[in-house]
């Protein structure tokens, strides 16, 4: 028998609609688990007890009156500390914004409020979403619920740990180079990076604006689809959002007629053997479900990581220039404007964020712009064309989500390049803007691993269908 906080969105919805449980009971169960486990895991940076319980009570009242708002009405969610919630402290896990209170709701929050979702609190992350381990937070590391000596991944590590430890029913993260999918793989969750422009970025603190996307982190594929459907759509506050037909899941038990491509360049020596074995085992399951498995050529695979780590710091250095102690952020006393900038940013922005700001500023500087940023953007076009060609012959591209399982805390702290390589399989979806999902695979009882599925632009329905068919076959 599952505890209330262990329910999925679908299970909670069924129980709520049947009046077997109340939203207040569900929310209290999550808060009890937070009180018990969060001190050790450090998944949450802020808890919104009173507000969440009040919203849960309103949800129960609506349900009693036959006025439930939708599938998320009364469901407790966790929110990454980079998505604005009006009236709440939102810090991006940085000291420079430790007292920043959001003046408005992000568009995704407004949409979820309209469906009656209950927000439990804000989750830990790498500062300004810069990192892949949640070791770069100004407020301490988050630990992996499967092994507290290991990282949960990042930058959405707090959201991943909160869902995996059942400190919420589901959570929101943001994904710039894999920051939803990599921690989902490390923590045994489903994580979706939507097509760029499918979900509004309005109210998301920007790191790299042309890559950032908000997405769900959930216990099942169906739950991810429910959250995604609630958040997606055109938004006049974000001019990069696109008017597309509304998303409709297309579940299927068999995968006959689906062609799945295995990029030849993705199966080199860098993959740990247990990950290779697990993902190739998942490929065999997909084949048994009727999918046709084909090898595909994907040029510029190695260049994709290089392009990302040029363009991303350039955009980050520009976006983070506003946190200077004058326009935004904590202001340190100083005798003149320059010293104010230096003291405020030097004292309150962490080393990884500073590293990326410096790299981006250098790549954009006179004499280097053409050699780095301009060249990276040119290669980015080649990469997009290569993915378009590959996906003209297959419906989905399949790789591991990560080359290894979750690494130990502190293992890569002094070797940032080895940490950047963890993004090898995930950055392609951000560089090209394509949708991608990580779904758990591998033997039960061991450290989690993820299978990564990437699809055509605005075709989330296909990667959801493949992921759920696999999930239902393996996990029931």
**Residues annotated as catalytic (active site), given as ranges:** 80, 155, 179
Q: Which residues pair with 261 in a beta bridge?
A: 294, 397
Task: Give the count of beta carbons closer than 10 Å to the beta carbon of residue 415.
Answer: 10
CA distance to 137, 269, 388, per residue, from 157 (Å): 10, 27, 31
Measured N-to-C along each axis, helices 460-475 and 221-231 cross at an angle, to the nearest 10 degrees, of 160
Laid out side by side, the sheet with 76-80 consists of 44-47, 118-123, 76-80, 170-175, 213-218, 190-193, 436-441, 449-455, 396-400, 259-263, 292-296
DSSP state of 194: P
In 3D space, the residue among 274, 322, 307, 291 whose CA is nearest the CA of residue 96 turns out to be 322
DSSP letter, residue 169: S
Interacting residues of 179 by C-beta distance below 8 A, sequence separation 6+ = 126, 129, 132, 154, 155, 156, 173
Query: Among 395, 382, 467, 397, which Cα is nearest to 432's?
Result: 382
Reduce the DSSP state of residue 265 to 3 states and report it: helix
Residue 313, by phi and psi: left (phi above 0), alpha (psi -120 to 50) or beta? alpha
Contact criterion met (CB below 8 Å) for 189 and 229: no
Residue 346 three-state SS: helix
Is-contact 375 357, C-beta < 8 A? Answer: no
- Give the rounded distance of the alpha carbon of 327 from its chain centre: 28
CA-CA distance, 77 to 438, in Å (whole number)? 20
The torsion defined by the Cα of 20, 469, 185 and 52, in degrees rounded to 10, comes to -20
Cis before residue 299, ω within 30 degrees of 0? no
């Amino acid at each position: 028998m599952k505890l209330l906080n262990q329910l999925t969105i679908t299970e909670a919805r069924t129980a709520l609609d049947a009046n077997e449980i109340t939203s207040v009971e569900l929310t209290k169960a999550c808060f009890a688990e937070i009180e018990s486990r969060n001190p050790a895991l450090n998944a949450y940076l802020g808890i919104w007890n009173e507000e969440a319980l009040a919203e849960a009570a309103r949800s129960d009242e609506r349900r009693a009156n036959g006025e439930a708002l939708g599938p998320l009405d009364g469901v407790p969610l966790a929110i990454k500390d980079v998505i604005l919630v009006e009236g709440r402290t939102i810090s991006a896990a940085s000291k420079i914004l430790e007292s920043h209170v959001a003046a408005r709701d992000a568009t995704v929050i407004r949409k979820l409020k309209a469906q009656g979702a209950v927000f439990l609190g804000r989750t830990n992350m790498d500062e300004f979403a810069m990192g892949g381990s949640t070791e770069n937070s100004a407020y301490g590391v988050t630990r992996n619920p499967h092994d507290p000596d290991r990282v949960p991944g990042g930058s959405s590590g707090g959201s991943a740990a909160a869902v995996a430890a059942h400190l919420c029913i589901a959570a929101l993260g943001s994904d710039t180079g894999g920051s939803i999918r990599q921690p989902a793989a490390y923590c045994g969750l489903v994580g979706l990076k939507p097509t760029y422009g499918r979900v509004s970025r309005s109210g998301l603190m920007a790191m790299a604006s042309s890559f950032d996307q908000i997405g769900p982190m959930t216990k099942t594929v169906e739950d991810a689809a429910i959250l995604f459907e609630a958040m997606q759509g055109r938004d006049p506050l974000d001019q990069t959002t696109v008017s597309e037909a509304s998303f409709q899941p297309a579940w299927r038990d068999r995968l006959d007629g689906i062609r799945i491509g295995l990029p030849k360049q993705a199966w080199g020596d860098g993959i740990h053997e247990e990950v290779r074995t697990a993902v190739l085992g998942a490929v065999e399951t997909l084949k048994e479900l009727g999918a046709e498995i084909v090898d595909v050529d994907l040029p510029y695979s190695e260049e994709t990581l290089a392009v990302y780590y040029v363009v991303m710091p350039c955009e980050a250095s520009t976006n983070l220039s506003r946190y200077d102690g004058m326009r935004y952020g904590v202001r340190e006393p100083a005798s003149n404007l320059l010293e104010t900038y230096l003291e405020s940013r030097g004292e309150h922005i962490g080393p990884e964020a500073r590293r990326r700001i410096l790299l981006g500023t250098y790549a954009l500087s006179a004499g280097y712009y053409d050699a780095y940023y301009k060249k990276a953007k040119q290669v980015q076009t080649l990469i997009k064309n290569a993915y378009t060609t590959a996906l003209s012959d297959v419906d989905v591209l399949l790789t591991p989500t990560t080359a290894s399982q979750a690494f130990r805390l502190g293992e890569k702290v002094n070797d940032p390049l080895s940490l950047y390589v963890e993004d090898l399989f995930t950055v392609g979806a951000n560089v090209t803007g394509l949708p991608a999902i990580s779904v758990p695979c591998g033997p039960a009882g061991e450290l989690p691993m993820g299978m990564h599925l990437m699809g055509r632009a605005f075709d989330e329905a296909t990667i959801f269908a493949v992921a759920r068919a696999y999930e239902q076959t393996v996990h029931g």
